Structure 1
Amino acid sequence: MTSRPHAEPPRPRLVVVGSGMAATRLVEQLVARSAPARMDITVLGDEDTAPYNRILLSAVLEGTHRPEALTLRDEQWYADNGVDLRLGARVLGIDRERQDVMLVDGTLVEYDVLVLATGSIPSLPPIRGLVRMDGSLHEAVHAFRSLADCRRLLAALPHGRRAVVVGGGLLGLQVARALGVRGIGTEVVEGADHLLHQQLSAPAARILARDLKKLGVAVYTGARAVRLVEGPTGPALRLDNGFTLDTDLVVLTAGGRPSTALARGAGLEVRRGIVVDDRLSSVTDPSVHALGDCAEHDGRTTGFVPPAWEQAEILAGVLCDDAVKYDGARIVARLRATDLDVAVLGDAAAELAAGGEVVEVANPVSGSHRRLVVRDGRIVAATLVGDLSRVGLITQHFDRQTVLGPNEPGELLLPQRAAGSGTRGVVLPDDAEVCACAGVTAGRIRACSSLEQVRDTTRATTGCGGCASTVRQLLSSRPALVTKGS
């Protein structure tokens, strides 16, 4: 009697909904673990463009990057690594009982494990006149969330010399600075009492506003735009304080919320975001995971690249049966805009409420404001404006939760010269973090022979771009020194 050959067990089917920065990082981590050899991976992206870096859209608007330079991984990379990337594949709904997703064209994609990386969507501010009677945006109004939005705004620039940016958060300031670089007279309207109100204290925000004014960008805080009207010279934005700002362009950067419609439709628990546990699994259905802007862990959603990429690395381990968990502790943000330097670590408000103490050094004359929140000798939050020369060392202590001596927090905030470094640069140790987005150390950068190799193998410089100057210095043939201002 001849024995029948054993049938191969079916390969698990992993479907990722979304092709943004979090989803791309997840796929990269899965490829690094050789997961495509063990499972079928399908990525569904609703845009027609290969995955790209949204954080650097303002650099395209500014003119320092070409649109194609934002591509994270092209279609050929996915094909070469055995991943099925489908662009222009918008998902209509999820059937958890049948374990499939339906695209708008009626195509069904079956899954065993589903990952939702749907990101966030802009919310339209309550400004009358933004939307025409037919439901379309006024021709002067522009969203700024996608590459298509960026291209539409670029096409409009030759027809206008004045712009109002609605929203004084990270994105709004990046857009405002980019428009200023293009020679557009730009004004920022922020409803809160100061810029970056969720990240900065009022004194630090005042320094930032002054820097913007020097760069030709006017700032209105504590004021809300209420109506878009037709003025004698074109569109005008009316504020609730009585001012009316004449403009040619209105750019909406205020307000965004996690994209959760698919999750809600599928019956998953959603609060602000899709509620997940320490393994980034939906608390409703363990076969469904969420990461990035759409996920809510421990009551918190994030809108930054570093936690999204950290989640991607953790989830790749979970999907490959590693014993890993996500603690949600790492929040790092950088403002990427020419001549504006801002870095934020942790949640200062929460840490102060938990008993943290403030160590602060400010020099309004030089335009710098540096603040640490310290609890039990450890840096638990930090905001740095105008001088990022020590951001690498501070981030290293923040990540490692180093217990510092009583004088060390203050010394970390002093300029390098005053702290005893003289005119010489500071040598970064190999284990010092250089790229906060991807968690890349100086040693890993030094091991690379070119900027292209750095980007391809470590993903440094492909997040917010704030580490680019330091990476270039580390790659140079001269001794690897990081000088003040890098």
Structure 2
Amino acid sequence: MPERVVVVGGGMAAARLGEHLAGDERFAVTVLADEASPPYNRILLSAVLEGTHAADALTLRSAEWYAEHGIDLRLEARVLEVDRDAREVVLVDGQRVAYDRLVLACGSIPTLPPIRGLVRRDGTLDPRVHAFRTLDDCRRLDAATRSLVEGSAAPLVEEGRSPVRRPRAVVVGGGLLGLQVARALAVRGLLTEVVEGADHLLASQVGSGAGAVLARDLRRLGTEVYTGARAVRLTGDGLQLDNGYVLPCDLVVLTAGGRPSTALARRAGLMVRRGVVVDHTLTSVTDDRVHAIGDCAEHRRRTTGFVPPAWEQAEVLARLLRGEEASYDGSRSVARLRATGLDVAVLGDPERAEGEVVEVTNPIAGSHRRLVVHGGRIVAAALVGDLSRVGLITQLYDRGTLLGPDEPGQLLLPEAADAPAPLPDEAEVCACAGVTAGEVRACASMSECVDRTRATTGCGGCADVVRRLVEDSPAPVAVG
């Protein structure tokens, strides 16, 4: 009888685990997704808002794919509790789903920042306020943006006349998601401003030098940035900051204040700190029949929130469930910012990693590059504005390659003006899915590449490189 694996959550970690277990007759896999859509790429939601991707292009695998591969995908299946004694998951409609192995892939949830006026007296959000976490959130914000842009453009276009008033948006939060949303709204035509409580942008990932370069880039692109300021009240006049300044706004988008979704684990009596505490096998330290992966998992007192570690966890757990040797050490972390006009890549923890720092900043050109080298190996990096060397640096970081004394500095210099050398087959081009240039070259088309390797289905930052590799690959030779 196949082992019953029940996955709670319909996000990117759950989808990746399903892909690794698909077709294995030793498992009967059930995925309980609380949204109405099959698992999709949340990282590219801002691209849907911007208008460069269609919503249906974000689907990682169709509902038909799950059925064809023997996976029971249940949409709008909200879990109420876990009965660990009976080894059953209880849904809000009373259904009980039995399991032999339970995988919590619940992701994270947004939390409301302490801003007075966000919630009206009747308990509903002010209609100007939007969260940005799910596809439904994205659709609501897209509709509100379209209405504002069309309304402001209606009376225009006689020579010499200017718009009545550009609609204004304020994004609360200067992290990766906040900057992506801000750029998307600005591209759509809204006058957009960013409010960040820390003293610089991307404070959780980069230092003040890189944050200053990002702020300068945003201002150059028409988006004002307020750092070291907190929003305290939403009124009819706009969003008031703690310095007394009021930002007029038609939209307020909340991108700060997310946390791992752990309520279900807490009610089940599992050990939870910030996330569900797991060991190197991604098993709950409370119950060896329960596992956690993705945003809701806490390993070595760390939660991640990024795609590459979530997908690595899914692969490791799949191997362990199949009885193979595997363990998760939590060392690999790669984050990319996907936003028009902004390029950021962060490897590891460049602000807290131990080692010698090699840094080059050119605020005029809008670039900042930082390597942390320990024992001759790259242990962390932050690249802003110039990602020409990101593939090579990622490869050296992942492999722990020993560098010569001059190599770290050379890696931070701009690419030579002549044509770059072709990427070797072993070079990693998709950090999210761990795909090499050779694996991409073996594919005859982009659709085949996506289906076989899952390249470009994470942050999307590798799309241009992958497309060039596929287009430059030799056509297959017909036989016979």
What TM-score range do you get, normalising by the shorter chain?
A: over 0.9
The two structures have a TM-score, normalised by structure 1, of: 0.93
Asked whether the equivalents of residues 21 and 27 of structure 2 are also in contact (C-alpha less than 8 Å), the reply is no
SS of the equivalent of 1:348 reads coil
The aligned residue for residue 200 of structure 1 is 206
- Residue 428 of structure 1 is aligned with which of 418, 423, 426? 423
Alignment of 1:54 with 2:42, yes or no, is yes
Alignment of 1:253 with 2:248, yes or no, is no
The two structures have a TM-score, normalised by structure 2, of: 0.94
Take 1:384 and 1:477, find their aligned partners in 2: how far apart are those partners? 27
The aligned residue for residue 226 of structure 1 is 232
The aligned residue for residue 384 of structure 1 is 383
The aligned residue for residue 176 of structure 2 is 170
- Residue 299 of structure 2 is aligned with which of 289, 297, 300? 297
The aligned residue for residue 17 of structure 1 is 8
Q: Which runs of 5+ in 1 are unaligned?
A: 1-9, 481-486
Q: CA deviation at 1:350?
A: 2.8
SS of the equivalent of 1:286 reads coil
* AA matched with 2:472: S
**Pairs within 5 Å for 1:126-137:** 126-137=114-125
Alignment of 1:278 with 2:286, yes or no, is no
Q: Deviations over 1:221-254 (max 9, x none)?
A: 00000000012xxxx0000011100000000000
Take 2:419 and 2:99, find their aligned partners in 1: how far apart are those partners? 57
Q: CA deviation at 1:478?
A: 7.1
* AA matched with 1:246: P
Q: CA deviation at 1:176?
A: 0.1
Q: CA deviation at 1:159?
A: 3.6
Take 2:58 and 2:414, find their aligned partners in 1: how far apart are those partners? 34
- Residue 78 of structure 1 is aligned with which of 44, 50, 66? 66
Take 1:264 and 1:372, find their aligned partners in 2: how far apart are those partners? 39
The aligned residue for residue 465 of structure 1 is 460
Q: Deviations over 1:345-397 (max 9, x none)?
A: 00123313xxx110011212211111000000000000000100000000001
Asked whether the equivalents of residues 206 and 351 of structure 2 are also in contact (C-alpha less than 8 Å), the reply is no
- Residue 113 of structure 2 is aligned with which of 122, 125, 129? 125
Take 1:426 and 1:367, find their aligned partners in 2: how far apart are those partners? 25
Take 1:132 and 1:91, find their aligned partners in 2: how far apart are those partners? 29
* AA matched with 2:299: H
The aligned residue for residue 152 of structure 2 is none
Instruction: After the TM superposition, list the runs of 4 or more consecutive aligned residues in structure 1 that deviate by more than 2 angstroms.
Output: 477-480
Take 2:183 and 2:134, find their aligned partners in 1: how far apart are those partners? 18
Take 1:373 and 1:414, find their aligned partners in 2: how far apart are those partners? 15
The aligned residue for residue 5 of structure 1 is none
Asked whether the equivalents of residues 441 and 473 of structure 2 are also in contact (C-alpha less than 8 Å), the reply is no
SS of the equivalent of 1:427 reads coil
Take 1:39 and 1:471, find their aligned partners in 2: how far apart are those partners? 33
The aligned residue for residue 287 of structure 1 is 289
Alignment of 1:375 with 2:370, yes or no, is no
Take 1:226 and 1:361, find their aligned partners in 2: how far apart are those partners? 37
- Residue 43 of structure 1 is aligned with which of 25, 28, 31? 31
Take 1:237 and 1:350, find their aligned partners in 2: how far apart are those partners? 34
The aligned residue for residue 7 of structure 1 is none
SS of the equivalent of 2:378 reads strand
The aligned residue for residue 456 of structure 1 is 451
Take 2:170 and 2:92, find their aligned partners in 1: how far apart are those partners? 36
The aligned residue for residue 484 of structure 1 is none
- Residue 19 of structure 2 is aligned with which of 21, 28, 36? 28
Take 2:402 and 2:67, find their aligned partners in 1: how far apart are those partners? 47
**Pairs within 5 Å for 1:326-475:** 326-352=328-354, 356-417=355-416, 422-475=417-470
Q: CA deviation at 1:145?
A: 0.2
Take 2:175 and 2:254, find their aligned partners in 1: how far apart are those partners? 11
Take 1:371 and 1:284, find their aligned partners in 2: how far apart are those partners? 40
SS of the equivalent of 1:227 reads strand
Q: Deviations over 1:12-42 (max 9, x none)?
A: 11100001000000110112xx42x112110
Q: Deviations over 1:288-328 (max 9, x none)?
A: 00000000001100010000000010000011111100000
Q: CA deviation at 1:286?
A: 0.6
Take 1:237 and 1:368, find their aligned partners in 2: how far apart are those partners? 31
SS of the equivalent of 2:336 reads strand
Q: CA deviation at 1:479?
A: 8.6
Cα 1:16/1:478, change in 2 over 3 Å:
closer
* AA matched with 1:21: M
Q: How many residues align?
A: 457
* AA matched with 2:107: G
